[in-house]
A and B are shown apart, each in its own frame.
Chain A
Amino acid sequence: MTSSPVDPSALAEARRSHFVALFTALAVGLHAVDVLLPSPLPWFRLGLANILTLVALFLYGDRAAWTVTLGRIGIGSLLLGRLFSPGFFLSFSGGVCAVMLMCGVRRFFPRLFGPIGISLLGAVGHVSGQLLIAWLLLVRHPDLWRLYPWLLLAALVSGLLNGFVADRVLEILRRHPAFAEEQG
């Protein structure tokens, strides 16, 4: 059968790419909110955009998660004028580490963790990646690692929050017919 508008697999594919694009756009928006939100500590961010990465990961898998994250970082830093600034590299390495950890764990232990656990892993990956890059490129001082426990604590808080929200969102989305046949 040739491809036609009613071809169910082509339709599903089109729907997927539309939603991934939408998630990316929402992630950029949340990222902007996150950056602009007043923060008690200069390095503390909630990482709200990770909610969309989690949703994409649970609905559509690895590839969608990468697209949302990398798209969000690229477009987000363009919009906020931080492309290739030190903050961008921290954000980039944090994002890459987070998605690697989330996708990797989900691939090898698909049933063990729910969105909240994966979210925690993502947050831990994010702060670890950032600290590693900061140590490699900005301040090669062992005292930098003293920050790690505090960053982990922050990751724990934001990971729980984002995971909770993502779980709720996934629950609602799965009830909707547009996502009825998606995995997860």
Chain B
Amino acid sequence: MRRVLTLLGLLVAALLLRQLLFPASYDVRRSQILLGTVVEIDLHGADASRLEAAVSEAFAEIARIEALMSPINPSSDVARLNMTTAPLAVHPETASVIAFGAELAQKSGGAFDLGLGRIKALWALESETPHHATAEELAPLLRDLGPGDVSLTDIGMAQRAPAVAVDLGGIAKGYAVDRAVAVLSRAGEVWGSVNAGGDIGFVGSRPDRLWRIGIQHPRQAGEVLATLSLEGGAVVTSGDYERFVEIEGERYHHLFDPSTGEPARRCQTVTVVADGAMLADVLATALFVLGPEKGFPLVESYHASALLVTVDGAVHTSPTLSGVTWP
């Protein structure tokens, strides 16, 4: 009897030691519709209740940012900004996003623009009645467009040029992913990912191997164009295939060229790998408009890398892109 007890004691002690040396791992995976897309969060760690709390907090954080920056919500900073041409006091986070967007508008020579709200509203691609905008309709909307159309005053108030409407579409999603990643990282020894409709931010790195991220093929649904092996950071794709309408056989997508007010025509899809999702988001939008020759130097200047498919179907990769495998 004593021997049995001793053995049992040994086994319990061994199990306790095992728990100390190799903690159990849990996986919390949840998705929610936010930012006009599906946001999926996947978080691994040792403490299940802490993971659950962190994931809930991250979704709340994304909802909070959506409330600040959505053009639809009438009390958001963006909606209020579009109701006045005077400088407006906005939330410090909205101000910092606008500051970053304005910097990129400058650096990209206007390929990225925070003031595309009226252009998007004119095309109304996401409504029930999309409209093929004509050059006459577009001309007055293009007047004020360009670097500086949306800016911050010296004292940090937000301001827009009269002929533009603010739209943070190409930047707010990335910012929200970055914020969610920051919230999740506070949960201690965890790893995982935030995926907002293909805008992906990583929480730490996988303990076993690199992240394997498939890039959606722009013309073959469900097929992967290439696979990226990444340690962490963020990866964002802008493609013409996700949200588009066909008007008289022509494909009109949601990525507009600020110089013409028409959907940009150089690329089919652009994927940017960067340290943060907001940076990757903005760079992907700018690169989509610029194309590889002008766009890659911009991407490199932010220590990011990119893979893109031009409209003729040719694949280009920026010189610093590593870890790509082709199927």
Contacts and interface: CB of A to CB of B under 8 A. Distances in A.
Interface in A63-119: 63, 66, 84, 86, 89, 92-93, 96
B186 interface: no
A92 B22 contact: no
A96 to B, nearest CB: 7
A84 B24 CA distance: 16
Contact of A89 (B7, B18, B24): B18
A137 B24 contact: yes
Contacts of B17: 84
A140 B27 CA distance: 11
Interface in B1-50: 3, 7, 11, 14-15, 17-19, 21-22, 24
B132 to A, nearest CB: 53
B3 A89 contact: no
Interface residues of chain A: helix, strand, loop or mixed (majority): helix
A137 B46 CA distance: 12
B173 to A, nearest CB: 33
A55 B65 CA distance: 71
Contact of B7 (A86, A96, A137, A138): A96
Given A66-B3, A137-B18, A93 B24 contact: no
Interface in A48-65: 63
Interface in A13-72: 63, 66
Contacts of A89: 14-15, 18
A84 B15 contact: no
B15 A137 contact: yes
A86 B22 contact: yes
Contacts of B19: 137
A96 B22 contact: no
Contact of A96 (B11, B18, B21): B11
A92 B3 contact: no
A92 B14 contact: yes
Nearest to B8: A96
Contacts of A92: 11, 14
Contacts of A138: 22
Contacts of B24: 137, 140
Quick one: which of A63, A66, A89 has the most chain B CB within 10 A?
A89
Quick one: which of B3, B15, B18, B22 has the most chain A CB within 10 A?
B18
Contacts of A96: 7, 11
Contacts of A63: 3
A71 to B, nearest CB: 13
A126 to B, nearest CB: 15
A137 B17 CA distance: 11
A98 to B, nearest CB: 13
A127 B25 CA distance: 24
B207 to A, nearest CB: 14
A96 B12 CA distance: 13
A138 B23 CA distance: 9
A66 B2 CA distance: 14
Contacts of B7: 96
Contacts of A140: 24
A72 B7 CA distance: 15
A64 to B, nearest CB: 13
A140 to B, nearest CB: 8
A63 B6 CA distance: 13
Contacts of B11: 92-93, 96
23 contacts: A63-B3, A66-B3, A84-B14, A84-B17, A84-B18, A84-B21, A86-B18, A86-B22, A89-B14, A89-B15, A89-B18, A92-B11, A92-B14, A93-B11, A96-B7, A96-B11, A137-B15, A137-B18, A137-B19, A137-B22, A137-B24, A138-B22, A140-B24
| A-B CB proximity, top 4 nearest | A89-B18, A137-B18, A84-B17, A89-B14
Given A89-B14, A92-B11, 16 more contacts: A63-B3, A66-B3, A84-B14, A84-B17, A84-B18, A84-B21, A89-B15, A89-B18, A92-B14, A96-B7, A137-B15, A137-B19, A137-B22, A137-B24, A138-B22, A140-B24
